[in-house]
Each structure stands twice: as structure tokens, then as C-alpha cells.
Amino acid sequence: MECAQVTAGGESSVLAWGGLVCLPAATICRSELFAVVVSNYTSCMLWGVVIAIAGPCVVSAVLTVLVRGWARRVGFVDAPGGHKKHEDPTPLGGGIAIVWPLCGALLGGTFLVWLANEQGWVDRLPALVQTHAEGIAGRLPGVLAVVIGAIVLHVTGLIDDRQALGAVPKFAVQFVVAGVLVWGFDIRAAEFLGDALSIVLSVLWIVLIINAFNFLDNMDGLSAGVAIITGTILAAAAMRSGQVFVPIAAAVLVGTLLGFLVFNFSPASIFMGDAGSMVVGYFLAVLTVLTTYYDPEQALSPYGVLVPVVVLAVPLYDVASVVAVRVRAGANPFRADRCHFSHRLLRRGMSPRAAVLTIYLATAATSLAALLLPRADWPTACMVVTQTLCVVLIIAVLEQTPGRPAGQ
């Protein structure tokens, strides 16, 4: 019987909140066992995703309530004025309720398996975890590096939320974090382009997505909601590719954001601030880099490399259009204002909620088609790219249509 071992980009383990769900690599045989293997993978993955979403969601929601009360007591609030349109001081620190459960789930699960492996307690772990305990334990340095990078960005964001740091210090921290991760731990994309170009592109990509979601954090529920949509699609795309770690890690991120969004959707009672938005963008960028998009042995199409760009088309459009508008006006491209995509929709007559929901729908419209790319032929890939461009162009046209502010 001919068999091919599929390990989905080297990922054969899964982290989930409250423990660790580990799925063995699927051994796909060209026989009647194929359907059974696929069914088992799908069933186990769905349970893993449910656990990975539910646990962090509950913890994040509870932590959001606690952080909100603490922020009010200590005066850690975002005061109205300037380009800000909220009427009352609103608590900051929502990033704490996102980052801590996220990092705790990823690092905690890996550490527990490492400890069990070191102490000879592997037989006490669930059967599925036992199979890959040694491999999971070996991933501890990489997971630790990702988490440390997130904490550095988180602390930088907390400082900036309290006392504005300016663009240069934040960029410096972002480039250092991305550089250490890419250079020091070999977490990079486009390796077929050679080491030097792959490293440069990976660092630039991570910094770009960090800032894309930082830019999106300009209206109640916007950054968190878009990240939930893109994270869900990335998880589904990785599952279609037969991967394990990326879907569960993305699910943990989605869970923490869902718990926070309950309190962040309009009218928001707490903001995530830079302490949350930079980390959200960072984790999404890292997940896109970790995902295997092209592997002939798994029948993965080369067009799968387009998945990150298609899924993140709307955030990328926002950051590109904002910078273009500011440069054209002779303003600092990194200075906060009301030139964002969402603000431009408000000036066309939409309410804040309608603007946010419109961006949610635009993100879903571009992202859903990305699920076809990992196994697409060239006509399908062209169709997906064309559809994405059409959605972005529709957005651009709607932005230019004359309107009047909502309520006038």
C-alpha cells in the first residue's frame, strides 16, 4: 500500500486554552482509509477549534470587565478632544484582556508538555498529546520568542497609550521585534526567493500588518472585528491545507477578540489601544508567515501564496489609502487624524455602526474567496484576485461618491 506522510509544513501539534490539543500528522493512504483519515482530522480539528475559541473568549470577557474597572479607578482613560469623537473619557487597557489570555494559552500549553516530557510524565498526558510530546517540547523556544515579541509590543503600546511616544520609537521596536523573530528564529516567508530577500520581505510584512491593524483601531469595534474575520478565514484556509498549529493558534486569537468585542463594539465601554492593536496585527502577521501555502506533495497550489494578501486586502487598502491621503495633503503620514477609510464613510452619510459593519462585510467578501486558493488552478486564482480587486475598487468608488454626514 502506497502511503504519503503529510505533516502540514512541519506542524503536527496544537495548543488550546486550558491545556493542549495535539493532533497526529495525517497518514494519507491511497486506499479506502483516506476518507477515514480526513474525517478524523476534520472532527478533531473542529473540537480543537471550539475549545481554542471558547476558553480564551470567557477569560478575555472576564478580564475586560476587571481591566475596565481598574482603568477607571487609576485614570487610565482616553479623553475626548482633537481628532477623537467620543464624548466621555473611555477606559484604555483593553489590550491587556487580549494579550494575556492569548500568550497564556500558547506558552502555557507548550510549557506543560515540555515539562511532562522532561520529567517523564508523558504517559499522563492525553493519548493524542503523547504521540507528539517530544516535537511539541522542541517548539518551546520558537513559541517563547513569539510571545516575548508580543509582550514587548504590548508594553510599548501601554506606554504609548499613557504618554504618546511618536512614530519613530514605535517603528524601532516593531522592526527589532520582527527582525529578531525572522533572523533569530527563522520564522519567515517566501524562502524560495533566497535567504536575504526572504528575511527582508518577512520583516517588512510583519511591520506592515502591525501598523495596518493599529491604523484600523480608529472606531469602536473595527480593529477587533476585522481581526476576528481575517483570523477565522486564515484558520479555515490552513485547515484546508491540512495544517494543525496555525488553525488552533488563530482560533485562540479569535476567542480572545470575541470576548473583548462584547465591550468594544459601538458604543464601546473600553478601548484596546496600541497595547492591543499592535499585538493583534503582529500575531496575524506571524500566523500568515507560519502557514504553508504551497507544497506539491500535498497538492497545494502555488497560488496559495496569495492567501495573506487576499484575506488582508481591506486592512492593506486602509493603510495605503490613509498614507496616500496624508502625503497628498502634505501631512505627516503617521500622525493620527480622521482620514481613515471608516471616517471617509462617515463623511458619505453613514453612521459609525454602519461604517464598521460595511468594513466587516467588505473584509468578509474578499476573505472568503481566499479559501479556494490553496487548491486552486490558474483560472480560479485569477477569478479570486479579480473579485478582490473589484471589491476594493467598489470601496474606492463609494468613498468618492458625494454624501453628507449622518444625522444632517
Query: How confident is the model over 322-333, as pLDDT tens digits?
Result: 888 788 877 777
pTM: 0.84
Q: How far apart are CA 99 and CA 142, in angstroms?
A: 18
pLDDT in tens, 279-292: 999 999 999 998 87
Supply the pLDDT for residue 176. Answer: 97
Q: Hey, what amino acid is at 129?
A: V
Supply the pLDDT for residue 81. Answer: 55
Q: Which residues contact 184 (CB under 8 A, 6 or more apart)?
A: 145
Q: Give 19's pLDDT tier (boundaries 50, 70, 90).
A: very low
Supply the pLDDT for residue 253. Answer: 96
> Is pLDDT of 166 > 60?
yes
Average pLDDT taken over every residue of the chain: 81
Segment among 26-35, 228-237, 277-286, 389-398 with least mean pLDDT: 26-35
pLDDT in tens, 27-71: 333 444 444 444 556 666 777 788 889 999 999 999 999 999 999
Q: Give 335's pLDDT tier (boundaries 50, 70, 90).
A: confident
Q: Hey, what amino acid is at 349?
A: G
> Is pLDDT of 300 > 70?
no
Higher-confidence residue of 55 and 339: namely 55
Q: What's the average model confidence in pLDDT over 166-193?
A: 90
Higher-confidence residue of 341 and 15: namely 341
Q: How far apart are CA 342 and CA 353, in angstroms?
A: 10
Secondary structure class of 151 (helix, strand, coil): helix
Supply the pLDDT for residue 195. Answer: 83
Q: Give 402's pLDDT tier (boundaries 50, 70, 90).
A: low
Q: What's the average model confidence in pLDDT over 134-153?
A: 88
Q: What's the average model confidence in pLDDT over 230-249?
A: 85
> Is pLDDT of 344 > 50?
yes
Secondary structure class of 200 (helix, strand, coil): helix
Q: What's the average model confidence in pLDDT over 271-282?
A: 95
Q: How far apart are CA 70 and CA 95, in angstroms?
A: 13
Sign of CA dihedral 109, 242, 387, 326: positive
